Amino acid sequence: MATPRSLGFRMPAEWEPQSATWLSWPSNTALWPGHYDLIPAKFAEFAAAISRFQPVKINAAGQLRAEAERELKAAKADLSVIELTDIATDDVWCRDHGPIFVKNDRTKELALTDWEFHGWGGKFEASLDNQVPGKIAAKLGVKKFSYPFELEGGGIEVSGDGLLLTTEAVQNNPNRAEGRDDAAFHAAIRDGLAIDELLWIGEGLANDDTDGHIDNLARFIAPRTILAVSESDKSSPNYAPMQENLKRLREMRPRGQRLDILELPLPKPIRLAGRDLPPSHANFLIVNDGVLVPLYGQDSDSVAMGIIGDCFPGRKIVGIDCRLLLIEGGALHCLSQQQPV
Strand duo 82-85 + 56-59: pairing: parallel
Distance CA 59, CA 241 (A): 36
Kindly name the residue from 94, 311, 322, 334 that is annotated as catalytic.
334
Nearest to 298 by CA among 281, 311, 286: 281
User: Distance of CA 265 to CAs 233, 240, 247, 333, Å?
Assistant: 10, 14, 16, 17
Residues in contact with 101: Cβ distance below 8 Å, sequence separation at least 6, in sequence order: 11, 12, 110, 111, 112, 113, 337, 338, 339, 340
Cα distance between residue 3 and residue 21, in whole Å: 25
Active site residue 334: yes
Neighbours of 315 (CB within 10 A): 17
Rounded CA-CA distance 43/75 in Å is 9
Residues designated catalytic: 334
